[in-house]
Structure 1
Amino acid sequence: MKPDRAAFRRGIPLRALAPNAITALALCFGLTGIRFAIGGEWDRAVGAIVVAAVLDGLDGRVARMLNGASRFGAELDSLSDVIAFGVSPAIILYLWSLQYLPQYGWLFALAHAVCCALRLARFNANIDVSDQPHKSAGFLTGVPAPAGAGLLLLPIYLWLWTGDETVRQTWLVAPWAALVAFLLVSSLATFSWAAMRPRRGIRLGLLAVIAIIGGALIVAPWATLSVAGILYALAIPLGIRSYAKVRRLRAAARATAASAAGSARP
């Protein structure tokens, strides 16, 4: 009996090519941001990272829509994220400001890239772990890589928006880079926008808000990105507080269940 040829088929399914192509494009845009930064084209450098973040948000959804999720795609996505949201933003910020901090500026850039890689490694290691309290409650652990890149570049947004050279000073940029690196690898609970389920009554209004934000990104990109970055940073303490409430409710439910089980015993 001849062996089944299907058992020997190897390679990526055709339906997985589209999401993997989007992931590869995100990687290319991330690297292109470095190219623009070397030439001092800061607006294009930041814009390339923003486009990479948009593509990163699309590839997973396209994979689920086409039923094209694969282990290869997951690994490619992580590698792309390390470069597009770890290495590239770190180099851009270094060329923009941190290079003027003698001896130590490169360390802050390295910290972001390394912490981004560590975060993604932790995420991959926990994919098959069933006990994930943050995920089960609809939260993330730490700041995700695209959001971390967006936060890291916040001083550049502000500079492009206002032209104020104060935000370019290394004594402000270096501590900010260190804080963002910490948030990437922290165990703090942050909001997961994908897990949110808005009520039917506000969905049309939410679509209108998204459309207005899209228009604002075209008309006034740096002001919009600055405000979005600041609002996200302010939402981090709210996420920590919300998850603390969830933990208290879970603890109360476990205590109630244990009490009921104890009283039911003969």
Structure 2
Amino acid sequence: MLEAPFPPLDPNGNTEGRGPRLSEIPMRIVIPNLITVLAICAGLSGIRLAIEHRFEQAVAMVLLAAFLDGIDGRIARLLKGSSKFGAQMDSLADIVNFGVAPALVLYLFMLDQAGSFGWIAALIYTIACCLRLARFNVMLEDPNQPAWQGNYFVGVPAPAGAMLVLLPVYAGFLGVIPSKALAYGTAGFTIVIAFLLVSRLPVYNGKTAGSFIRRDFVVPLILGVVIYAGFLMSFTWQTLTLTALGYLLFLPFSAMAWKRRFAAEEQKSSETQA
């Protein structure tokens, strides 16, 4: 029988085998889960808006879901409110927000013109996203993984995959007219992104950047964020298009950095054993 996320109260006071009784749940545990629920609402609202052919708002909802997904875990760690229930809920939210929602938005915007081939591409992307998230959860439990490899994702992460797969939609907002030929090309592009999700491609995740930065980097970093945010608000689709293309160009360099680090670690290990 499945256990509830929090043990129920027994009116007779019997707590044997149940762990501690919780009559009140701390808000520090509830708040991250509320953010995850809001992310799910954003992803599902994106699907509804796409059905109503309000595609710009639909993409905005998917991007909002990605933003909320990016902060819920950090807020949980900041508040010391992480829980197994929250982790499982976050994974299910990722399937909706970065698998189902982008695939349906892209299908309704363009892939439907490719008929069954377009639908198959959307299915492949969604299933690839599910497989990628399942593999990520399993790898978190691997005690034998070297610490330095934690600085890399295995395959493109699901939020980045959602941003990439919507690239044809950004192009459509910039004036590219959807056509049947373009729809078939988009279907092929969608399948490529799906394979990037489930690939073994090492993708740098930035964890080695640490929690502190050099004092002389603070002002340039703040200015860079402000400039990017300004372009994102003023030239939204142009900025997202360049961001997606830049991310694709970044992937080969990430793989080369991983290979250099792997070779260095192997050499260090052989010297230690010698």
TM-score (norm. length: structure 2): 0.88
Q: Match of 2:85?
A: 72
How high is the sequence identity, in percent, across the aligned residues? 37
Contact 1:19 1:63 in 2 (8 A): yes
Equivalents in 2 of 1:190, 1:15: separation in Å?
32
Indicate how the Cα distance of structure 1 residues 194 and 131 shifts in structure 2: closer, same or farther if over 3 A, else same.
same
Q: Match of 2:223?
A: 208
Equivalents in 2 of 1:126, 1:10: separation in Å?
34
User: Which of 143, 158, 165 is the matching residue for 2:177?
Assistant: 165
Q: CA deviation at 1:131?
A: 2.3
Q: Match of 2:253?
A: 238
Contact 1:36 1:45 in 2 (8 A): yes
Q: Match of 1:228?
A: 243
Please say if 1:252 is aligned against 2:267.
yes
Q: Match of 2:143?
A: 130
Q: CA deviation at 1:193?
A: 2.8
Q: Match of 1:262?
A: none
User: Which of 163, 177, 180 is the matching residue for 2:190?
Assistant: 177
**Structure with higher helix content:** 1
User: Which of 117, 122, 129 is the matching residue for 1:109?
Assistant: 122
Q: CA deviation at 1:33?
A: 0.7
Please say if 1:46 is aligned against 2:62.
no
Gaps of 5+ in 1: 260-266
Q: Match of 2:8?
A: none
Supply the AA of the counterpart residue of 2:119: W
Please say if 1:17 is aligned against 2:30.
yes
User: Which of 232, 235, 255 is the matching residue for 1:217?
Assistant: 232
Q: CA deviation at 1:4?
A: 7.4
Q: Match of 2:113?
A: 100
Please say if 1:154 is aligned against 2:167.
yes
Aligned positions, number = 257
Q: What CA deviation, in whole Å up to 9, does each residue of 1:42-62 have, x standing for no partner?
A: 111111111111111110111
Q: What CA deviation, in whole Å up to 9, does each residue of 1:177-210 have, x standing for no partner?
A: 0011011111110010344247413232112111
Gaps of 5+ in 2: 1-12
Supply the AA of the counterpart residue of 1:88: A
- What is the root-mean-square deviation in Å for CA atoms of aligned residues? 2.1
Q: CA deviation at 1:84?
A: 0.6
Indicate how the Cα distance of structure 1 residues 211 and 154 shifts in structure 2: closer, same or farther if over 3 A, else same.
same
Contact 2:113 2:179 in 1 (8 A): no
SS at match of 1:190: strand
SS at match of 1:130: coil
